[in-house]
Amino acid sequence: MQSLHPKIAIIGAGNVGSTYAFSLMISGLAREIVLIDKNTALAKGECMDLNHGLSFAHPTRIHPAGFEGCADADIVVITAGANRKPGQNRTELAQDNLEIYKRIIPEILKYTTQAILLVVTNPVDILTYCTLKISGLPSGRVIGSGTVLDTARFRYMLSDHCKVDSSNVHAYIIGEHGDTELPVWSNATIAGMPIEKYSTLYAGLSDYKNVFSDIFLKVKESAGEIIAAKGATSYSIALSLVKITRAILRNENSILPVSTLINDYYQISDVCISIPSLVNRSGVVHYLDLELSKLEQQQFTHSANTLKHIIKTLDI
């Protein structure tokens, strides 16, 4: 059967993959959605459930498939992978999921070398780098979901404290999607005004430094809190993936903190890490050279070196 476009293939029909498929269906961005999972019954069941609601959404062909479903896809989104086990460190999780990716990536490439690969599985920055090396694709067409969700959480919490629409908050979380990520306070603004000034003049936050420190801590801890409460995060990551998908399919030239390969960025090279980047139909066109404070430069270097240390231990 001839493919419909835009076509999105999703590898992994678990919590994130299926919720993304639902969000994608509701958005109307895709004309064809393919769910691929080693548990074929799960993929079939998710597609049946989605199809039964199509009369309330947009016309979309939604079906399960093997890796042949990647053929002619505009974007292949990879959510498959093992969850972190109790007591397992990040290096062990990275190696476990790398072994899964060593099987998945060659299978995808049998059917398409033209699609943009969007990596979601954790640790996402490391697996984005591994996907780039395994696939041999241009770096702009291998993208990690990065700190897009972290940034959305950050903006929401800042907007909540400052009593302003989150769309008026411009602030980024960069670095590793994980323990060493960092907020870029030096570039944060609300409606073009430095966030410290806005907070003091209009939000009544005289103790804004401590407030901001607490907000960033809550951002880092929020995923764990959600997982403890309901077992997994799904809605917000799915919506962040829809945002990245929209930026690509609609050629938006959006600035998003996705994970991408950097070279000579504050003297750091050969690592995929989350940094504000221009995203359009070609994937990542370029990343932005932010003017970071001295402290932020040190934190970013530490984050990058942490990722590089783990990568060195892996058998890519």
List the catalytic residues. Answer: 177
Return the ∠ at Cα 222 (arms to 201 and 157), rounded to 5°: 20
Contacts of 48 (CB under 8 A, 6+ apart): none
Residue 268, sorted as left (phi over 0), alpha (psi -120 to 50) or beta, turns out to be beta
- Distance, in Å, from the CA atom of 171 to the CA atom of 168, rounded to the nearest integer, reads 10
How far are the Cα atoms of 19, 25, 99, 247, 281 from residue 75, in angstroms, in the given order? Answer: 17, 15, 22, 12, 10
- Distance, in Å, from the CA atom of 97 to the CA atom of 78, rounded to the nearest integer, reads 11
- Distance, in Å, from the CA atom of 165 to the CA atom of 156, rounded to the nearest integer, reads 8
Contacts of 28 (CB under 8 A, 6+ apart): 57, 58, 60
- Distance, in Å, from the CA atom of 297 to the CA atom of 302, rounded to the nearest integer, reads 9
Return the ∠ at Cα 296 (arms to 292 and 215), rounded to 5°: 115
**Other residues' Cβ atoms within 10 Å of the Cβ of residue 309:** 10
- Distance, in Å, from the CA atom of 104 to the CA atom of 93, rounded to the nearest integer, reads 16
How far are the Cα atoms of 43, 91, 193, 282 from residue 208, in angstroms, in the given order? Answer: 47, 36, 15, 40
Residue type, 31: R
Number of H helices, E strands in the chain: 9, 16
